[in-house]
Structure formats: structure tokens, C-alpha cells
Amino acid sequence: MEGSRDEHDTPVWLDDDFFLQVVREFTHDPNARLCHGCKLRPGTKPGEHFASVMYRTTIHYRCHQSREASIDVIMKIQPYQAGLKKDVLEESDLFLREIRIYSQVLPEMKRRLEEIGETFNYPRLIYASEKPRTILILEDVSGKGWITRGYIATFEEVVPAIKAIAKFHAASVVMEQDDTSFAYRHRCEVADKFKALDGMLKKSFHDLLQFMRSTEEFVHLIQPVQKLQGKLLPILIESYRPSADCLNVLVHGDFHSKNLLHQQSAAGQVQDTMLIDYQICSWTTPAVDLYYLLDTIVDQSVKEQHRDAMLHLYYEEFRRLLKQFGWLGHVTSLQELHIELLRKGAIELFHYVALYPYRFVDRSKIDFEALLSGKGSNPAASSPVYRRVMREVLTRFLHQGFNHDELSSPGWLNDAFFRNVLCELECDPNVRLVGTCVLRPGTKAGDHFASVMYRTTIQYCLTGDVQKSINIIMKIKPDSKGLKKDLLDGDDFFGKEIKMYTKVLPEMAALMRSIGEDYKYPKLVYASHEPHTIIILEDISPQGWGMGGLIKSFAELLPTINAIAKFHAASAVLQEKDPSFTSQYRCTIAKILCSMRSMTDACFSSFLNFLRVIVQLPEFVAPVERFHANIDNILEAAYTPSETCANVLIHGDFHFKNLLHLQSGGQIVETMFVDYQMCSWSSPAIDLFYLTYMIPEQAVKKDHRDEIIYHYHRTFSSVLRRLNFRGRVPSLTELQVELLRKAELELYHYIVFSAFRHTDLSKVDSEAFFLGQTANPALQLEEFQETIRMELKRFLYHDMTYNQDELEAPAWLNDAFFRDVMRESNNDQTIELTQACMLRPGTNKGDHYASVMFRTTVTYRSKRSKEQKSVNLIMKTKPEAEGMKKELLDDNGMFKIEIDMYSKTLPEMARLLKEIGEEYKYPRFLYGTLKPHTVVILEDISNEGWVMKDYISTLQDMKLIVKNIAMFHAASVMLDTLDSTFVDRYTCSFAEKFMGMDGLINKGFKDLTQLTQMHPEFAHFAKPLENFQKNLRQYYVTLYDPSKTYQNVLNHGDFHANNLLHKIGKQGRHTDTLLLDYQLCCWTTPAIDLYYMLDMIPAQELKDKHRSELIYMYYHQYSNLLKRLGFKGKIPSLLDLQIELLRHAGLEMLHYAIFSSFRYVDQSAIDIETVLKGEFDSPVLTNAEFKKVMHTELTRFLHHGILNDS
């Protein structure tokens, strides 16, 4: 066997005389003798060990009157040849330690473990001596099947090693309990020996940095590693000190793969493991051995896949054994063990920087002298595995698991401080602590930013020896310089939070109790500004309260919605009782966000690149750039208290990491808030945007956004009423309007806070994150990309058979009449008809109801031109047959308006639009009169390719329609500026006339009521629908009143699919569109036409997908046209338009209640009289699609406050 270099020569004193002495002492027989000479051979293979020189031999001996016996032994002696190895170990007590372990500790451990039914293997001690020469002789167990192996490749095979080290540690704990000198005798002095490794460590850092500089993916890690160079060794030495926070144990201290012996099954699988080489055993933190276990025993892949499982197994074994031993002391929790590992992370870093590269070479070829002196080179520099592992590991160290400033606590947080706290809490000056308060980090990295936090458990006694304990969590201001300290120095965050916990939250909870409700928050234990700023709360995590990630369902979000609604409602009542309340919580959040400009700018920069490159939405780049340029003003406006909606005390930092939940059956059943540092008096919209984006998963927001707001408002308003709030409770519509006003804050959340939402802050440097030095991972997520495609558009858009009475024409519609019409329209009295005019029905059944229509072709000749001409005409007359239709149209108001439109207004609109290069088309007007008969005659353009279509199914086809109504509205605004009488001609509202169709209206609501009775999923709409119908006439008429808050326009007033004509191209797409039927034009809010545009023209699916885009398209066209037309007035914003639509949303509810059913029936089979009277049977109540649409829309109306149950 090839041995280590220094084991080829043997010291002369290792001769037969020496072994004879060994045998006599081992057998306790002074007459024992050797049978023949002992031949020494190297004890190990090259690279298997460093801290000794080892030999093997077999001693054959005979005792008095016994047969010949033999024993295989392995010897360990101190290095005797000159060199670094000898220098490092010459003055060491390592051999004395190991002799003590083998002679005293291991036998006692074995005895104790066997008493509880456990086995414990170690090599039998044969002989040990310090003088005249230091030597340790053990039984060589290799002949019994124990072998050394390389790195363990499976989790199953490392289990025996884990159990072995757990036994070693657990036995040491109970031995130390019984022997107070145990820890001292095994005190940790090995750390100082690391100073001898300085050369090795310097060379390792040099090689690592050289490697990193040659590899682009390490660029961001170079500076942190450079800073660590020269610091790691003292940190490493400190890490080997016994722990003040974790149960210390006797560590093996050199627990790597070459210090394990294994027994294998016939299949070559490890079945049992024993430890050897106990030279570095010390009383210290178990983290030392556990990092060896993770880093130097198993393959990297096993660590990566099973790290937590290995630690969990160790912990469970360790805890189980202590329990079996009858250990009564405090057992470190698994969480505390993980924290301890985190604190001692320098050990793991040392392993990777200095030792990990040597996994990639044959250890037998390693020159340990050169390695330790720093003369070796990195043998792994060319390995892709090394590159991957080191990149991941160094990044993990850079982003270590717990907040760095919580890993060491300030000196004043000591037992004396906690005793004073408890004396004050318990009003008992005689409080005494039982044991020491061990502080641990309060949160995981990334869980919070605006404080430094610790946890501890205090056990104490009151007067009369009453024993108590309390779990607490502390928040203090950061001492370490940096952004965190800078941000928290300038604002009284802690003052606000102390005031919240001492005064406001107790008052809120009392208000809630007065109405039988609960408002939960962590109990305040202590708070102070001087001499140190600190808040101490009861730590309720042992009670089951825990932080979670983004909430996955609407049902689990409900406790959060209810809690924030109660919080807001209670604050409104507190303000009502104390007017100074608002001044105590003035909002400074905008100032703080503006001060974080580095983060904001970085987020916008990456987002703009995201728009250009990843999602390829270049049309949004300029709007987002403008948004960024004005971001400070936008934030200031967003956080300014509302002038139009009731303000509340907002939480202000209302995201998922500031929520604690209780679960039952894996579902959230209760939620409370923490971190009240940012509470401010402002608009509830701020918290509601957090509620919809920063707490639930995107799918929950997408599917339930309206429902979330609806449920919040319902709870908020209900609690206010129950608290006898005397102020005005905002309606759900007003709340929705407020959200629209503050909508820019929601866009800010997507651009800036998406990084917070999608970044694992436990793996990034929080300072770097808030300084904008980390990438936003959200931009690479497909879900986020799809969300932004949808949401950006929403944000941008926030700134769409024959009639019976036509089968027989009135007698006066004869040839003489048509002759006179042609003479008047052509101003030519010489015209004569050359053929009789044959009248035919003007429309298919169901196409219209507000007139009776006929078509004809007039053929004529004039003396001015001998050429015969013809023209196709369509006529609109008043119905003469008795019935509902005649009653509705009995006066001439509608016809008067349409005649005025065709004869004056439309030509003037077309002229204005033509001047700016636009064309507004409408049928040519030939004749119109109210007496002796009411009639309007237009050119019939159906033969020119103009056709009527059903509901529009593509966005492209809608664009022409949107542009037409935008042109109509914009031109009307210009006409108003040019003609002071214009508006007066169109002041007539037909709302009253429409509300006269009681039968039709009642039928629509009756059908909906039947749905609530027939289908359980509709039942909760019954009361809201009933309420909506109360005062419906007055409500509807009011909706038609000209707007006082938005620019009024001339509305078409009857803007539905049957009042549009289209030209269709070869591909089946619309190439042109024009509007018909201008009978209901009136000067009022554009919301009238826009709700028609949304509800009565596109297919439902198209509306669902592009509702906001249609409004945006309209606004873009409308505002652009006004500018081009030279309008000098103020053009309202898109936001103003959205608010206007929300105010008039009741129109949409009416459209669905009354007209939606007609989408699902054959309109040619409808008798208009029975329809207007509401006497028809509606088949839609059993139509699955109708029910689905109505449930969706009624839910939306409920959530927007258009329907309500009170």
C-alpha cells in the first residue's frame, strides 16, 4: 500500500521492545512475550490525514500458559520530521485530548448509550502515552470490515453518520450535566490553531478572486469577496467559540469523510458508521460538526437536495436521545439550530473557499505542506461544477438567511433590561429572572425593513414565587450605518407605532367589542424612546400565528378584507370623536417613497427595457416615461388626503409580510396586522391598492378584484352604521371613483413594488434592493408579462323579418307625394315620375321601434335633363295603428330632432370635420316635415353596399364605430362654441318617455327576480335587485341630466347595433361605418352613448376582453379631434371620463336588466307591441350562456355599488 510520505520512515524507538511493553500493559501480564518481530507499514494512504503520523502492524504475542494471540493495531504519533506539519502540531495538546477521549470519554458515552438501548462503536484503545514519547495505539478494525470511503453519494448512506454524531453530541450533553468540569477540560482552544492557516487562506482567496475575474458571471460578487479577504480568519476563529444562544456539545471537530469508517452490505451500501480521529474534540457549538457533515462528508448534490433533511434528522435524533437520557434542560429548537448555523456561517464559507477546490483532485496527490503554506494552486478552476457551485454558494453567503443586523444584539438588551421591563409590566419590583434571556433574530431576511428585530423567551418569578414565562419580540432602530438607518432617522416611525399600540389600537378594539366584533393585534409589553428607542410586543407565533406568502384564494383573503375594513371604520369614528386625530397622523409616506429614488429609477429603467424588449409593447414606452418623469408629483397627489371621499387612518404598509394568519385545516381563518409604523390619515384607496396587489396572488386579483372592493365596502359601511357614525358614509360608487382618481398609485405598484412582490428578499441584500442595485425577477416571469400586457392597457384606457305596421303604407304615401318631394329636394318643379312608386317594408322585423319605415324607388325625368333618373328612398313615419308604439311616438319631438339633425347639424358637423381631413358620413337628407304628415325621407344607401350587422365580434371592426361616435361628440362640442342656440335645440330628454315603458322594464326585472328564485347562486341578488327598482324612474331621469362635472356632448341617444350601417371588405372586415336614426339626440353626458357602445354593439366576449380599451380608443379619438378642431376650452382627462362613467353606471345595469335577453332570442319572431308591454315569454331563463353572463354582470354591479342590499 502506498502510504503518506512521512510514514515510509519509522522512528527507531518503535521497535520490538516497545511493542513488548505495549502488550504486557494491554494484557496486564508482565510475562507476556512476542512470538516474532513486528513489521511496521504506513498507516494511511496519502491525503487521508494531516494531524499525525500513522503506522500499522500486527502484534503476535503469547501470555503465560496461553496460546499464541495476535492483534492488529494502528499507531498515531506526532510528526517528527521538520516542516510545517511538525511546527503546527509540536506544541499542541491534540494528542492529549485524543488520549483523554479514548480513555475516558468514549467508554463513558458507550456505557450511557447502551443503558438506553443504543449502540456506539469506536476503535478499542490498546495503549496511550505522553512520555517519553507521545503515541496512541488503537485496534485496527479494518480487518473486521470497517473501511474508509470517499464522499457519500446518497442520503440513505449518510444516515448512519448523522446518527453517530447525534449520539456523540447527546451523550456529551448529559456527561457535562453530571460533571461541571467536563466543558472546561474540553474547552475550545483549537480555534487559535487556525492562525497557522493564514497562508493557506490568503492563497485560497487569491486563487478564488483570480478565477472570479476570469468569469463574467462572478462580476457582481468580486467586491464582496474582496471585502471578506483578510476578515474571514478572525471571523472563523470567533465562530469556533462556544455559543451563547445554542446548547453546546462536545464536537468531533474534524468530522470529514476520511475520519469515518463504514461497514457495508453485500451490495456495497453503507450500513453502519463510526467516527475516528478525536484529536480536535472541543466543547463548543454543534455548528462546527454540522458544517463538516454538510460540506465534507457528502457529495455536493446530496447537500443541495437533502440539506434540510440531514439537519432535521440530526435534530430529531439528538432531541430523542436527550429525552431518553432524561435530560431536563432546555433543548435547542430546530429553528434555533438553524439560526446558530447562520451565525456560524464563516465555518461553511471557509470550507468552500479553502477546502472545496480539493474535491476535484486525487487527495493522494495533494502536498499538504504546500497547501497549508499557501504554495498550492486552485485545482478546480477549470471545472464547470466548481464554477456553478461557487457562484450559487457565494451568492447565498452574500444574501445570508437572516437580517444581518439582527445576528448580533446591542449590549443594553441584557437580563437587567428585561428584568426592568417585567417589573413594569407586572407592577412588581421583586421580579427575578429564571435563567438567561437568549436573543435570536426576530425575522427572516427580507421579512421587514423598517426596524431591527429580536425574539426571546423570558422565564421569571413574581413575588410569592409565582412562575411565569412570556415570548416577546422587540423592534429597535438600526445602529448600523446605511440606507435603513438613514430612512428611519428622519421620520418618527417609532413614535407613531408606539402611539398606535398604546392608545389607538386599544380604542379601536374597544369600539369593536361594543358591537360584538373583534379587532386583534399583538399585546404591547413595553415601549420607550429614551434612553433607547424600542417596542416590545408579545410574540404570538407560539400561539399559531404565522406569516404566509401571497394569499391563494378569495376565501382566504376575506379575513384580511374584514380586518382592514374594521380598522378603517374604527379610525373614522375616532376622528369623529377627536378632530385632532388627523393631525397626529399626517401622511409623509410620499416623501419617503420619493427619497427612495434610486430604487424607483432602477425599477422604471428596467421596466422600460422590459416593454421594449421582452413584451414588445413600444407604444407604452412614452406614456411610462412621462409617468416616471412626474412620479414625485404623482405620489404626492396619490397620498394627499381625498377631497371627495371619506378619509381614514390607513395602515400604509399593507402587504403580505405585515400580516399574521391563523389557519385551520390548512386554510386561513383569521388575520391580524403588524407593523403600524406608517399609519397615516389619507384616502382608503392607498390600502385598497395594497389589498388587491400586494397581498393576494395575481389570479385572485384578476378574478375577484371587484368582489374584494365590494366586500370591503360592505363591511366598512356596515361597521360604521353599527358604530353610530354620524358622518356621511361614502357609497360603493364613490369608493370606485376614488380608486379611479388614485389609479396611478396602482401602476406605481406594478412598476416598482413588483420587485418586492417577486423577489426572495431572504436572498438579496436589502440595502442593495432599496438602492435599486438588484434586478427585478418579475420581469422574467411569464405570468407577470401576461399581467402587464393586460393591466397596462387598462391603465392607459383609464386616462366603448318585417314589422307589422310596415306591411301596409298610409294612403298619403303615393306617387303625387313622392313627385312633390323630388321637386322640393331638387328645387325643380319640372320633375315628373316616369314609373309608379312601389312601397315595401323598410326594415326587418325587430330592427327598430321608434318609427314606421318604408322603402321605394322613385324614377323621374326633368325638363332640365331629358335623361331618366332614379333614386332609392327610405321613409320614416309615425305609426297610425293604435297601440303602445303609437302612444310613445304621439308627439313630434323625436321627428323634430331628427329633421333638425339631418337638415342642419349633420351637414355642419361634416363640414367642420372635413376641414381637418376627416369624413363623417350619413344618409343624404331629401325631405322632412311634421305637417300635414310627419315624415323623414333619406336616400336609401343599402344598394351601395351598406348593410346592417349583428353584434360586433372583433376589436378591429369596433374601431370605426368608436371613431364615428367620437367625431360626432367632438364636432358637437365645437358647434356649441360656434352657436349659442345649439344646446337649446337638444335639451329634450327622453328618459321620462322611456320610463313610460313600464311593461318592458318590469319584465326585465321580473326575469332577473325569477333567476334569484330558480337558482341558488342568484339568490343573494334578490334584495339588491329589489332595492334598485325603488325610485327607479327618478333615478333614471336624473342620469340623463346634463353633467355638472364633465364636458357634455350631443349624444346620439339610441346608439345600438341596429342603428349602424357597415361596408364589408373582401376579408369580411368592416371598411366603413355610419350611424342612423338621430331621433333621440340630446345634450348631456357622453356616458349615455358610451354605455350603449359597450352594452348594445359588441359581442359580450369582445366587451369582456376590451371594455377599457374601447373607452380609451374613444377618449383618444375624441380628445385628439377636439385639439385638431381648434377647441379652446379645457379637455377633460381620461380619468375624468372614467369617473363620469362610474357615476352613471346605473345605465349599464338597466341595459342588462331590460335589453340583454334580446341577444338570446330571434328578434324577427318578436312582436314589438308585446315587447313594449312586457307580455312576452322570455326563454333566456333556461339559457346557460345568459345565466353565466348575468351572474358575472350582476356580481360586478353588486361590487361596484350599483346594486346594494341596504
pLDDT digits (tens, 9 = 90+) for 834-884: 988 877 776 654 454 456 788 888 999 999 887 899 899 998 888 765 555
873-901 pLDDT tens trace: 998 888 765 555 555 556 678 889 999 99
Q: Is the pLDDT of residue 1114 over 90?
A: yes
Work out the percent of the chain whose per-residue pLDDT is above 90.
Answer: 42
Q: Is the pLDDT of residue 401 over 50?
A: no
Q: What is the pLDDT of residue 275?
A: 96
Greatest mean pLDDT range, 228-242, 304-318, 1164-1178: 304-318
Average pLDDT of the residues in 460-465:
90
Task: Tell me the CA end-to-end span of the chain in Å, nearest whole number.
Answer: 93
Look at residues 480, 417, 457, 422 and name the one whose alpha carbon lies nearest to residue 336: 457
Q: Is the pLDDT of residue 772 over 70?
A: no
Q: What is the pLDDT of residue 521?
A: 94
Q: What is the pLDDT of residue 758?
A: 63
Mean model confidence pLDDT for the chain: 84
692-727 pLDDT tens trace: 988 999 889 888 888 899 899 999 999 999 999 998
Q: Do residues 281 and 253 lie in contact, with contact meaning Cβ atoms separated by under 8 Å?
A: yes
Q: Do residues 450 and 423 lie in contact, with contact meaning Cβ atoms separated by under 8 Å?
A: no
Average pLDDT of the residues in 646-659:
92
* 948 vs 1129, higher pLDDT: 1129
Average pLDDT of the residues in 1001-1008:
87
Q: Is the pLDDT of residue 504 over 50?
A: yes
DSSP codes of every residue in 950-989: SSB--HHHHHHHHHHHHHHHHHHHHHHHH-TTTGGGG---
393, 593, 791, 1084 from 686: Cα distances, Å = 40, 13, 18, 33
59-70 pLDDT tens trace: 999 987 778 899
Q: What is the pLDDT of residue 138?
A: 94
Query: What phi-psi label fits residue 668: left (phi over 0), alpha (psi between -120 and 50 degrees) or beta?
Result: beta
Q: What is the pLDDT of residue 844?
A: 53
Look at residues 1163, 583, 568 and name the one whose alpha carbon lies nearest to residue 843: 1163
* 66 vs 352, higher pLDDT: 352
Least confident of 83-87, 735-739, 811-815, 924-928: 83-87
Q: Would you say the CATH fold of 511-525+540-797 matches that of 140-398?
A: yes
Q: What is the pLDDT of residue 375?
A: 56
The amino acid that residue 128 corresponds to is A
Q: Is the pLDDT of residue 376 over 60?
A: no
* 30 vs 846, higher pLDDT: 30
Domain ranges of the chain: 1-139, 140-398, 511-525+540-797, 804-890, 996-1039+1145-1201
Beta-ladder partners of 841 = 854
Looking at residue 752, what DSSP letter applies? I
Task: Please indicate, yes or no, whether the overall pTM of this predicted structure exceeds 0.75.
Answer: no
CB hemisphere CA count around 785 (13 angstroms): 14
The continuous run of DSSP H or E covering 897 comes out as helix 893-900
Q: Do residues 551 and 557 lie in contact, with contact meaning Cβ atoms separated by under 8 Å?
A: yes
Q: What is the pLDDT of residue 835?
A: 86
Work out the percent of the chain whose per-residue pLDDT is above 70.
Answer: 85
Grade residue 90 by pLDDT with cuts at 50, 70 and 90: low
- Residue 331 grid coordinates: 433543548
Beta-ladder partners of 653 = none
* 1032 vs 48, higher pLDDT: 1032
17, 33, 291, 322 from 331: Cα distances, Å = 51, 52, 20, 8
Q: Rounded CA gap, 1139 and 733, in Å?
A: 9
Residue 322's CB is within 10 A of a number of other CB atoms, namely 21
35-47 pLDDT tens trace: 988 999 887 775 5
Q: What is the pLDDT of residue 800?
A: 31
Residue 730's CB is within 10 A of a number of other CB atoms, namely 21
- Residue 562 grid coordinates: 374584514
13, 218, 296, 374 from 387: Cα distances, Å = 49, 9, 18, 21
Q: Is the pLDDT of residue 1120 over 90?
A: yes
Q: Do residues 1056 and 1092 lie in contact, with contact meaning Cβ atoms separated by under 8 Å?
A: yes
Q: Is the pLDDT of residue 131 over 70?
A: yes
Q: What is the pLDDT of residue 482?
A: 46
Q: Rounded CA gap, 876 and 853, in Å?
A: 5
Q: Is the pLDDT of residue 796 over 80?
A: no
Decide: residue 769, CB within 10 A, 0-12 exposed, 13-18 middle, 19+ buried.
buried
Grade residue 803 by pLDDT with cuts at 50, 70 and 90: very low
247-294 pLDDT tens trace: 999 999 999 999 999 999 999 999 999 999 998 899 999 999 999 999
935-952 pLDDT tens trace: 999 998 887 888 887 889
Q: Is the pLDDT of residue 24 over 60?
A: yes
Q: Rounded CA gap, 86 and 135, in Å?
A: 15
The domain made up of 511-525+540-797 has a fold known as Aminoglycoside 3'-phosphotransferase; Chain: A, domain 2 (3.90.1200)
Q: Is the pLDDT of residue 362 over 90?
A: no
CATH level 2 (architecture), domain 140-398: Alpha-Beta Complex (3.90)
Least confident of 239-243, 292-296, 934-938: 239-243
613-649 pLDDT tens trace: 888 888 888 888 888 888 888 899 899 998 878 999 9
Residue with cell 346594494: 1204
Q: Reduced to 3 states, what is the DSSP secondary structure of residue 69?
A: strand
Q: Is the pLDDT of residue 1140 over 90?
A: no
